[in-house]
């Protein structure tokens, strides 16, 4: 798809709403994400215990989640924290999907792993630290799977959209933008939920936009509040960390922001109501 129309003043021709190229809805499994019912992917930040992953997956499916989010390759701020099961973990995904009955969203870090992960997962996630990894973005253009592209926590919206352009320009228009918290001078929450980014993306592209309240809040008691705020800004879906037994998760780890799977249905209903009310104002 790269050619003479692939650039404009902003640096993203295909993604630009004015050109009508990219879709407004992207399917993850059989479910569309975008301009419809609120989509939700929920599950453990990382695959640690297979049994806990199954229990969590079954719980979020019962609660109405549309996909299981789970990390196999985990970029961490410290090299001493759990880095994910990596290659052996990818081999567990088909069994996990078969038991849980949900499509899987999982992160890929290395361009060399894209083919392997694409065979096992239904949607490939680009994390905040890899949003500017152009080699990875180009490889995802040929992955044959939808891409969930997180915004970097120190990057402007325009750079986020140019990252999406790399994927689309290399053959894959099925991109879901995922907004999240950004770095701030304040530490009230782990990151500052930048909801203005949702509006900015909406103004510039038709690609669906979802929000990750878990990595924005960094604490479980704030996850629902951040999700409701994102819903008021009209997001198409949520990416929620959830776990049946966060006390069993590796420490230091993600247990402090793991949402109760039994509350997913209520959260989705509340967010849907808030989104509908805000749309009418």
pLDDT at 3 exceeding the cut of 60: no
pLDDT value of residue 7: 53
The pLDDT value recorded for residue 135 is 97
Span of 4-13, 104-113, 249-258 with lowest mean pLDDT = 4-13
Considering the chain, what percentage of its residues have pLDDT values greater than 90?
Answer: 77
Q: Is residue 121 part of a domain?
A: yes
Supply the CATH number for residue 222's domain. Answer: 3.20.20.70
Structural domain contains residue 224:
yes
Q: State the pLDDT confidence band at 8, using cuts at 50, 70 and 90.
A: low
Cβ proximity of 193 and 232 under 8 Å: no
How far is Cα 38 from Cα 259, in angstroms, rounded to an integer? Answer: 18
What Cα–Cα distance (Å) separates residue 11 from each residue in 68, 160, 164, 247? 33, 11, 11, 45
> Is 11 inside any structural domain?
no
What pLDDT digit, counting tens, does each position of 33-69 carry? 998 999 999 999 889 999 999 999 999 999 999 999 9
Taking alpha carbons only, the member of 234, 233, 230, 199 closest to residue 212 is 230
Domain for residue 162, yes or no? Answer: yes
pLDDT in tens, 206-264: 999 999 999 898 899 999 999 999 999 999 999 999 999 998 887 666 778 899 999 99
Domain assignment present for residue 125? The answer is yes
Q: How far is 278 from 224, CA to CA, in rounded Å?
A: 17
The answer to whether residue 12 sits within a structural domain is no
Residue 31 lies in a domain: no
Q: Could you give the number of structural domains in the chain?
A: 1
Mean pLDDT of 81-92: 74
What span, in angstroms and rounded, lies between the C-alpha atoms of 174 and 24? 9
The whole-model pTM stands at 0.94
Closest CA to 198 of 149, 231, 223, 159: 231
Predicted confidence band of residue 77 (pLDDT cuts 50, 70, 90):
low
Spatial distance between the Cα atoms of 62 and 42, rounded to a whole number of angstroms:
11
Classify residue 148: in a domain, yes or no: yes
- Which domain does 141 fall in, by range? 37-279
Band (100; pLDDT cuts 50, 70, 90): very high
- Encode burial over 182-209: b for 16+ CB neighbours within 10 A, e otherwise: beeeeeebbbbbbbebbebbbebbbbbb
Higher pLDDT, 160 or 3: 160
């Amino acid at each position: 798809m790269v050619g003479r129309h692939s650039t404009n003043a902003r640096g993203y021709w295909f993604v630009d709403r004015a050109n009508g190229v990219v879709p407004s809805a992207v399917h993850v499994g059989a479910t569309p994400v975008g301009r419809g019912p609120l989509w939700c992917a929920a599950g453990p930040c990382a695959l640690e215990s297979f049994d806990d992953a199954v229990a969590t997956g079954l719980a979020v499916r019962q609660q109405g989640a549309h996909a299981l989010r789970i990390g196999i390759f985990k970029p961490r701020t410290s090299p001493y924290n759990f880095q994910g099961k990596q290659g052996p973990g990818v081999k567990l995904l088909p069994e996990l999907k078969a038991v849980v009955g949900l499509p899987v969203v999982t992160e890929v870090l290395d361009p060399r792993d894209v083919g392997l992960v694409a065979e096992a997962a239904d949607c490939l996630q680009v994390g905040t630290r890899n949003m500017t990894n152009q080699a990875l973005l180009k490889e995802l253009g040929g992955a044959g799977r939808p891409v969930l592209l997180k915004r970097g926590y120190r990057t402007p919206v325009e750079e986020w959209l140019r990252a999406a352009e790399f994927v689309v320009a290399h053959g894959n228009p099925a991109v879901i933008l995922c907004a999240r918290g950004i770095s701030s001078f304040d530490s009230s929450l782990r990151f500052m939920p930048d909801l203005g980014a949702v509006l900015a993306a909406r103004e510039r592209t038709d690609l669906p936009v979802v929000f990750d309240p878990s990595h924005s809040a960094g604490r479980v008691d704030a996850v629902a509040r951040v999700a409701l705020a994102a819903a008021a800004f009209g997001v198409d879906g949520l990416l929620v960390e959830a776990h049946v037994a966060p006390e069993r998760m590796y420490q230091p780890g993600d247990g402090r922001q793991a949402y109760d799977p039994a509350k997913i249905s209520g959260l989705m209903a509340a967010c849907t109501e808030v989104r509908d009310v805000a749309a009418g104002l």
